[in-house]
Amino acid sequence: QVQLVESGGGLVQPGGSLRLSCAASGSISRINVMGWYRQAPGKQRELVASITGYGSTTYAESVKGRFTVSRDNAQNMVYLQMNSLKPEDTDLYYCNLVSYGSNYWGQGTQVTVSS
């Protein structure tokens, strides 16, 4: 079993920055993809960014150039640096880990962008 714990969410003004962190623990295979999803009330959860163990990244079009995903394989951590935040980035952000067909989720951390 894998546990994921997010931190770093909060309230920020438009144009500001936040850094989300996710700590993974448990039975973690070296072969996995970690990433971040977000979900607004009444909407489907959508991919924000993901990163493989080899550092290959994928981004949603809406965040390209503003968000950066990174990971520390030794510490089983994944990060999301969010810059130039917009009100439409307001969502509940979830950490995700996929390994050999198993899908794990954190409890979510709220990001609110508002003046």
114: buried, middle or exposed (CB in 10 Å: 19+, 13-18, 0-12)? exposed
14: pLDDT confidence band, cut at 50, 70 and 90? very high
Q: How long is the chain?
A: 115
Structure-token pair, residue 78:
């994944």
pLDDT in tens, 79-108: 999 999 999 999 999 999 999 889 999 999
